[in-house]
Chains A and B, each alone.
Chain A
Amino acid sequence: MAKKLVTPEVFRKKVADQSDLFLITERAQGVYHEFLPQGLRVIKTPKELIFPEWEGVYRFSFQDRSWKVWEIETGDFSPRFLFLLPCEARAVIEVLDGNFLQKDYIDKNYWQRRKNLHLIVLGCYTIPKTCFCSLVGGNPLWRDGRSLFVLPFQGELYVENDETMLFGEGKSVDAREEETLATREEELKASLPPPLPSDFPQKLYAHFDEGIWKDLSWRCINCGACTFLCPTCYCFDLSVEGRLRGLTLKTWDSCMFPRFTLHASSHNPRPTGKERVRQRVMHKFSYLPLREGYYGCVGCGICREICPVNWDIRETVERMAKYLG
């Protein structure tokens, strides 16, 4: 893995020169400002670039007494570079890619958007109050071979994994610097709360019918703010627009909504807020880890930040962990 040091001036110039290619998430914007140029396009959540709020899946039309159906192709996207925080990158790489790019089925339109989106992870030194990435196995300096990594280091920028030389040659990292970095990383990690116990998903699964869920869910008003701004939530709905001519729409959906599980028979297996809140916690902290091996939550804390009634997923999970022992 290529490691180098770049001066902030060079970095800023490289980005500013092609600023139309670069985007930044709102959260990353909030943490980083000093070495990034002004005026980059800010997006709410990384998923909106690859899994947009709405898109057409296929078009249909009734012509000459028969139905015609066309798939809607998104076409090619030019390369884009997205600055984002480690938690958000983890959400894209582990959870969204894991869901839409499975071995047996690849979502074509997702892949069209994803393949030219390059992630640039901005490591966190300052940790906002809302974050809890260490609880779900992440850390503020999380990175991975599938993304670039940038970290302010001794007045310069430490860049890792820049295969295409996006930020130029730079200076190589010597052994002492590498050691300093490693110690810092260790210190940072040690200062964070420990991860959830490894048997947590299993235990949570076994406590599906606990009365505590009613208590935990009372406050939640079942809006979709958390799920829509969550970088990992990937549930969507399909609806048909038009009668004899129209298209099938794919839109974001949320497990918080009553219609999410409404059957055609009008039976709803998740009739109240209790079941819906339980589903959200269970999906992220039990079903996904048990089935796929990763949590459906990356601990970015956006849901805690924006919840209208301060329904707190960290509090809930910690309370459950304590309750389950």
Chain B
Amino acid sequence: MVNEDRWEPKIVAFLCHWCSYAGADLAGVSRIQYPPNVRVIRVPCSGAVNPLYILRALREGADGVLVSGCHPGDCHYLSGNYFARRKFFLLKELLSWLGIEEERVQFSWVSASEGQRFAQVVQDVVESVKRIGPSRKMVKEFLLHV
């Protein structure tokens, strides 16, 4: 149940094992503060993120999804993030064309050394999702009845 007054967005973050997850780790060990709204799911590579993962996260009640991987050219598997970029481009364009708020699904490149940047990205994502409010269009209806 969404309590409108004390609502905090839930963000599901798919982070690539080699860069962004390590970046998040660095943010942690460097004790950099960032909003606790993200739920991190580690994936081998941003190229391994099936668009269905993102849709499913939104369906299960996430207010926003962040997918983060290595910078172009830095992929541990050489080109996984290039393939990912094409997939995400189509997903993002299609969702926004259908009328879903653009902020719901966001992407970033964060390297293992960018702890500060990771914190900043999370900060930005959480703020932008807060601005648009709770997700309604893509959440399974029965969740609201449970």
Contact = CB atoms under 8 A, between A and B. Distances in A.
Task: Verify whether A and B have any Cβ pair under 8 Å.
Answer: yes
Interface of A: 56, 59, 241-242, 245-247, 249
Contacts of A242: 143, 146
B57 to A, nearest CB: 15
14 contacts: A56-B142, A56-B145, A59-B146, A241-B140, A241-B142, A242-B143, A242-B146, A245-B146, A246-B142, A246-B146, A247-B142, A247-B145, A247-B146, A249-B142
B55 to A, nearest CB: 16
Given A241-B142, A247-B142, 12 more contacts: A56-B142, A56-B145, A59-B146, A241-B140, A242-B143, A242-B146, A245-B146, A246-B142, A246-B146, A247-B145, A247-B146, A249-B142
Contacts of A249: 142
Q: Considering the complex of A and B, which 5 residue pairs feature the smallest CB-CB distances, nearest first? A: A241-B142, A247-B142, A247-B146, A245-B146, A246-B146
Contacts, number: 14
Question: Which secondary structure dominates chain A's binding surface?
Answer: strand
Nearest to A241: B142
Question: Which secondary structure dominates chain B's binding surface?
Answer: helix
B142 to A, nearest CB: 6
Contacts of B140: 241
Interface in B125-141: 140
Nearest to B145: A56
A249 B143 CA distance: 12
A241 B140 CA distance: 10
Nearest to A72: B145
B36 to A, nearest CB: 22
Contacts of A246: 142, 146
A97 to B, nearest CB: 27
Contacts of B142: 56, 241, 246-247, 249
Nearest to A249: B142
A56 B145 CA distance: 9
Contacts of B143: 242
Interface in B91-146: 140, 142-143, 145-146
B56 to A, nearest CB: 13
A70 B146 CA distance: 11
A219 B140 CA distance: 35
A247 B143 CA distance: 9
A242 B142 CA distance: 10
A243 to B, nearest CB: 10
A246 B145 CA distance: 9
Contacts of B146: 59, 242, 245-247
A242 B146 CA distance: 10
Contacts of A241: 140, 142
